[in-house]
Each structure stands twice: as structure tokens, then as C-alpha cells.
């Protein structure tokens, strides 16, 4: 899965146009690039696709989170609530801006539980990051309502949900901003790369300046602005080759999602034969980007036993209860407070006092859900032979 499965002439043509100019940098070199600005074009087209006014391309989905949080003014002393089932990048970015991640339960959407979200809000909460995990929308309307009541901005982590929507509105466009990842296993890919979308022009301008060392980006032919920097920045710039690939992949995104939906439906029909099976709550099946099929079995023992049989027949599913990249109790470095900083930061203050401690048993609702969860990634290309293999494995498990 997914975008890399359909690399073709379109990507090659876009890349060739960049190589013909000899300019890989997204800024400057006006005469040499002959009007070709692939990253800028990618930003404009991605914003249009998502139905928002602005998009900021960056080097990764992780960078997108950090750039967005920084532009939102989140920093030391702040708390940011997110969910316990997500990729580690979500909370790494929170730590990296100096804030403290606060983890909340997920429900059977496998996304942030609004009930537990409200319990976790404190006067120090400065942002909420729901994650549209595995391509399906979170309860974003309920989350946004709670956030608005407390005056807290919402940053949607849409890393795995490019092309997904809820009731006709693109995921990532509900909150103050939304972040996307284009790494090698995302629905559309640029190899590495990320994007932030927003309707807030001031926030977008801060992101634009911060991601490029603070350059103000006012019109200055041949340069990157009037050099009237307002604040310090860093380097999270996307390069032109990534922008070129992104343009080609974006043009295919709806076709990718359509193919995944067909393949997911075929897999779901097979999985439905398992005794006692139930499926993840999908709030809007028409908006699911269908990159994963998630299902539950009655209890943890049955789930492990069934997956063992599936694995013996070459069709094992992902058992996220044991996954060390995406699930809170398995983040041993988080739980242990492991860091390269001699001071112990971000887990300790400079004077050695502990800032935060995480209990692996703190989220029992999520643990019960994850213990019963199995997941099949859904490819764009699913051969009849592979489908038959999975079908036979499920029959054996039955």
C-alpha cells in the first residue's frame, strides 16, 4: 500500500520538468527555474482539494505537527491532549515544542473518545490533537464542540487520512489546521514530506516563515523576502522533486481511494464469516479512505488464537495490542522517560524534578478495545491469488 503502488509516467514527467530546470530548491533562482514552482503548485492544489484557503508543505508529517504547534504558540508549560492510539510522531512533536502530551482513550472508532477528552482538559490545555487513525474520521464534530466551549484550538492529525472526509467535508479542514504525511506507506506519497492546511491566513504566514528560518516571504524577486524577520525559525522546507511527485500523486488520489474501497469491501465480506466478529465504527462509510480494514473478535484470547491461525496460512493481520509504534502501553521509551538530554528533558526539568510520568495501565477502555482488534492494510492492487489466500486462511480460522 498505497501511493507507491502506482508510480508511473505522471510522476516521471513531473520530475523531469524539475530536472530540466536544474533547480531543486523551492525558493529563489527565478531565471533558471523558468516559472516552474512545483512545491508552491502542490500547496495550491492540495489546499483546493481539501477545500481550504492555505496549505504549507514541509519535510514530513512529523515536521507538519511541529510547525503547526509552533505557529499556534504552544510551548513549555502547556499541555496538549491526544489519543493513545497513534503513531509516535504525534506526541514526539508535542514534546519537541516543550509541551506535555496528555493521552486520552479511544472508542470503537479507534479515534479520540470525546467523553474522555473532556475529562482530560485542564487550565494548561493549549491544544487538542485528534487523529483520523487508519483513514477514517474521528468524532470531529463532537471534539470541536468541546474544544470550542473551552476556547482550545484543534489540530487534526490527518497523516493517515488523505482523501478521507466526513459528511462531504475533508478531514483536516474542521479544526484550526490539519496535518498530513506523505511518507512511503501513506495513501499518497512523496517518499518523505508533509502538509499543513488551514483557513487562517495569519497562522499560515507564521508557518510559512517558521519553516524557512524566519524569512518573511514578502515579494522580492530573486530572493525570499524583505528579510524583516519577526521571529526565529528552522528548516523544514520541501524540495521541488517532492512537490513534483506530490502533484502527480494528488491527481491520482481519488482513484487510489476508490480502488482501496473496492478491495476493502472484498476483504470485509470474507472477514464477516468469522464467528463473533464486529467491525470498527465508521462514522461516514462514504468518507472512509479505506486504507485499513479493522475488526474485533469477542475477547483477547480468541483474537490472538484466530490471528495465529491466519498467520500460519500466510494471512496474519496486524495485532496493534503488541505494536510498538502506535500504541501507548508499548512505547517503552515514553514510559521510561528515555532521552539523550543529560538534564532528562523533556521528562525532567533542568533541576532534576520530574515533569511527567506515564502509567501503562492508565487507559483501560482503550486496552480492552485494542486487545480484541485485528487489522488488514488494504492495498491499491489486490490480486485474485492474494485474495484467495486470505479467504482460505479465514476459512481455516472459522
Gap between the terminal Cα atoms of the chain:
27
Q: Higher model confidence: residue 5 or residue 167?
A: 167
In a shared domain, residues 94 and 224: yes
Gap between the Cα atoms of 227 and 223, Å rounded: 9
In a shared domain, residues 181 and 210: yes
Find cell 473496492 and name the residue: 262
Residue 146 has what pLDDT?
98
In a shared domain, residues 211 and 292: no
In a shared domain, residues 98 and 109: yes
Residue 323 has what pLDDT?
94
In a shared domain, residues 95 and 188: yes
In a shared domain, residues 292 and 223: no
**Sequence-ordered alpha helix ranges (H) in the chain:** 9-21, 30-33, 38-50, 61-71, 89-96, 114-120, 140-150, 201-210, 240-271, 300-312, 332-336, 364-371, 384-397
pLDDT tens digits, 74-106:
999 999 999 999 999 999 999 999 999 999 999
Q: How many domains does the chain have?
A: 2
pLDDT at residue 222 is higher than 60: no
Q: What is the CATH number of the domain that holds 168?
A: 3.40.640.10
pLDDT at residue 1 is higher than 60: no
In a shared domain, residues 60 and 195: yes
Q: What percent of the chain has pLDDT over 70?
A: 98
In a shared domain, residues 10 and 142: yes
pLDDT band for position 225 (cuts 50, 70, 90): confident
Domain encompassing residue 336? 253-397
In a shared domain, residues 229 and 320: no
pTM above 0.75, yes or no: yes
Residue 224 has what pLDDT?
78
Give the HSE-up count for residue 142: Cα atoms under 13 Å, Cβ half-sphere.
12
Mean pLDDT to the nearest integer, 265-281: 98
pLDDT tens digits, 315-353:
999 999 999 999 999 999 999 999 999 999 999 998 999
pLDDT band for position 3 (cuts 50, 70, 90): low
Residue 257 has what pLDDT?
97
Residue 221 has what pLDDT?
58
In three-state secondary structure terms, 347 is coil
In a shared domain, residues 56 and 189: yes
pLDDT at residue 176 is higher than 90: yes
Residue at a domain's end among 252, 287, 306: 252
Range with lowest mean pLDDT among 2-11, 159-168, 182-191, 235-244: 2-11
Whether 158 and 88 have beta carbons less than 8 Å apart is answered as no
pLDDT tens digits, 245-261:
999 999 999 999 999 99
Q: What is the CATH number of the domain that holds 338?
A: 3.90.1150.10
Residue 218 has what pLDDT?
79
Gap between the Cα atoms of 171 and 154, Å rounded: 12
pLDDT at residue 373 is higher than 90: yes
pLDDT at residue 217 is higher than 90: no
pLDDT tens digits, 107-155:
999 999 999 999 999 999 999 999 999 999 999 999 999 999 999 999 9
In a shared domain, residues 261 and 369: yes
pLDDT at residue 228 is higher than 90: no
pLDDT at residue 2 is higher than 80: no
Whether 159 and 179 have beta carbons less than 8 Å apart is answered as yes
pLDDT band for position 227 (cuts 50, 70, 90): confident
Mind spelling out the 3-state secondary structure of 180-203?
EECCCCCCCCCCCCEEEEECCHHH
Whether 254 and 163 have beta carbons less than 8 Å apart is answered as yes
Gap between the Cα atoms of 165 and 72, Å rounded: 24
Gap between the Cα atoms of 151 and 392, Å rounded: 52
Residue at a domain's end among 229, 252, 275: 252
Residue at a domain's end among 252, 287, 309: 252
Average pLDDT over the chain, rounded to an integer? 96
Cell digits of residue 98: 516543550
pLDDT tens digits, 15-58:
999 999 999 999 989 889 999 999 999 999 999 999 999 999 99
In a shared domain, residues 91 and 221: yes
pLDDT tens digits, 178-205:
999 999 999 999 999 999 999 999 999 9
DSSP-derived letter for residue 351 is: T
Residue 357 has what pLDDT?
94
Amino acid at each position: 500500500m498505497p501511493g507507491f503502488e502506482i508510480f508511473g509516467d505522471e510522476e516521471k514527467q513531473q520530475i523531469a520538468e524539475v530536472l530540466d530546470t536544474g533547480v531543486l530548491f523551492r525558493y529563489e533562482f527565478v531565471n533558471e527555474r523558468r516559472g516552474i514552482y512545483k512545491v508552491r503548485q502542490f500547496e495550491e492544489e492540495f489546499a483546493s482539494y481539501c477545500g481550504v484557503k492555505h496549505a504549507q508543505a514541509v519535510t514530513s508529517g512529523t515536521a507538519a505537527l511541529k510547525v503547526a504547534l509552533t505557529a499556534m504558540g504552544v510551548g513549555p508549560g502547556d499541555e496538549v491532549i491526544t489519543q493513545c492510539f497513534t503513531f509516535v510522531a504525534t506526541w514526539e512533536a508535542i514534546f519537541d515544542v516543550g509541551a506535555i502530551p496528555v493521552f486520552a482513550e479511544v472508542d470503537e472508532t479507534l479515534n479520540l473518545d470525546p467523553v474522555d477528552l473532556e475529562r482530560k482538559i485542564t487550565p494548561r490545555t493549549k491544544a487538542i490533537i485528534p487523529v483520523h487513525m487508519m483513514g477514517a474520521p474521528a468524532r470531529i464534530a463532537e471534539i470541536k464542540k468541546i474544544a470550542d466551549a473551552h476556547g482550545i484550538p484543534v489540530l487534526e492529525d490527518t497523516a493517515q487520512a488523505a482523501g478521507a472526509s466526513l459528511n462531504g467535508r475533508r478531514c483536516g479542514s474542521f479544526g484550526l489546521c490539519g496535518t498530513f504525511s506523505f511518507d512511503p506507506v501513506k495513501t499518497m506519497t512523496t517518499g518523505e514530506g508533509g502538509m499543513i492546511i488551514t483557513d487562517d491566513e495569519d497562522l499560515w504566514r507564521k508557518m510559512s516563515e517558521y519553516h524557512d528560518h524566519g524569512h518573511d516571504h514578502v515579494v522580492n524577486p530573486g530572493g525570499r523576502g524583505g528579510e524583516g524577520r519577526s521571529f526565529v525559525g528552522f528548516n523544514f522546507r520541501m524540495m521541488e522533486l517532492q512537490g513534483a511527485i506530490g502533484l502527480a500523486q494528488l491527481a491520482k488520489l481519488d482513484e487510489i481511494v476508490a480502488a482501496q474501497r473496492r478491495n476493502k469491501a472484498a476483504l470485509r465480506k470474507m472477514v464477516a464469516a468469522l464467528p463473533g466478529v464486529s467491525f470498527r465504527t465508521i462514522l461516514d462509510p462514504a468518507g472512509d479512505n479505506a486504507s485499513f480494514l479493522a475488526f474485533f473478535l469477542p475477547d483477547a484470547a480468541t483474537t490472538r488464537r484466530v490471528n495465529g491461525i491466519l498467520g500460519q496460512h500466510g494471512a496474519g493481520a496486524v495485532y496493534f495490542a503488541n505494536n510498538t509504534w502506535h500504541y501507548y502501553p508499548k512505547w517503552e521509551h515514553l514510559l521510561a522517560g528515555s532521552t539523550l538530554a543529560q538534564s532528562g528533558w523533556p521528562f525532567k526539568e533542568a533541576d532534576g524534578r520530574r515533569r511527567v510520568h506515564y502509567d501503562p495501565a492508565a487507559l483501560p477502555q482503550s486496552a480492552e478495545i485494542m486487545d480484541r482488534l485485528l487489522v488488514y492494510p488494504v492495498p491499491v492492487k489486490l490480486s485474485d491469488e492474494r485474495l484467495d489466500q486470505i479467504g482460505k486462511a479465514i476459512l481455516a480460522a472459522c
